Amino acid sequence: MHGVLSKYLPDGAVVPCVELIKHNHVHLKIVDERVTRHGDYRNLQDGSHQITVNANLNKYRFLITLVHEIAHLVAFEKYGRKIKPHGVEWKYTFQQLMLPFIRPEIFPSKLLPVLARHFKNPKASSDTDAHLSVALKEFDPQNNKNYIFEIPLGTTFKIYNGKVFKKGNRRVKRYECVEVSSGRVYLFQPNAEVEVIG
């Protein structure tokens, strides 16, 4: 397991992650990219625990996602199945599990203050924290995607399912964008990744 995980995790995180996986009896599957999620946790019918994490994540996002999913398992085991998936029990558990990893031996120093701020009140997804999402993107391989907030007003872009939109005005935190084919207005997070086409 060490050898496989060393391809996906920062060096200093491999051993503690293997211990977390073994201690919690996790069956970890590293899977092809799913656009809608980075990872997930399932309690299987035989009582075992399965966690999947996308293979295409950079090492820092992979680590955060893996610990995020293990936090679901630990919180459910400790507090029961009736808790909210991203409620206070999960947040507390996630904070406690991440604490040993938020060190300069594991994360680049420029990420540490962003992580410290994020883990004061962790969100359901690292993507919904725009500051963290943008900071983590710096460590992704180069691609032809932009964040919504980076592109000019009126720019045409497409998303993962091929739908084409035109960027509109910002409304409080999100951007109103019109789907070109239907004229319907959708709200996009500022850090949604899109492909500019014109």
What the chain holds in terms of domains, given with CATH numbers, is 2-137 (3.30.2010), 146-196 (2.30.30)
Please enumerate in sequence order all residues whose Cβ is within 8 A of that of 159, keeping only pairs 6 or more positions apart, or say none: 165, 192, 194, 195
Beta pairing partners, 172: none
In the chain, alpha helices (H):
2-5, 14-23, 59-79, 88-98, 112-118, 130-137
| Dihedral angle, C-alpha 167, 169, 172, 176, nearest 10 ° | -40
pLDDT tens digits, residue range 130-160?
A: 788 888 888 887 777 788 888 889 999 988 7
Percent of the chain at pLDDT > 90 equals 59
Query: Residue 53: which of 20, 79, 95 has the closest Cα?
Result: 20
SS3 of residue 46 by DSSP: coil
Confidence of residue 129 (pLDDT cuts 50, 70, 90): confident
**What's the rounded Cα separation, in Å, for the pair 151 and 114?**
23
Average pLDDT over residues 119-133: 82
pLDDT tens digits, residue range 25-77?
A: 999 999 987 666 889 999 888 888 999 999 989 999 999 999 999 999 999 99
Average pLDDT over residues 100-128: 90
| HSE, side-chain direction, 13 A CA sphere, residue 133 | 18
**What's the rounded Cα separation, in Å, for the pair 104 and 116?**
12
In 40-151, alpha helices (H):
59-79, 88-98, 112-118, 130-137
Average pLDDT over residues 88-99: 95
pLDDT attached to residue 23: 93
Average pLDDT over residues 92-101: 95
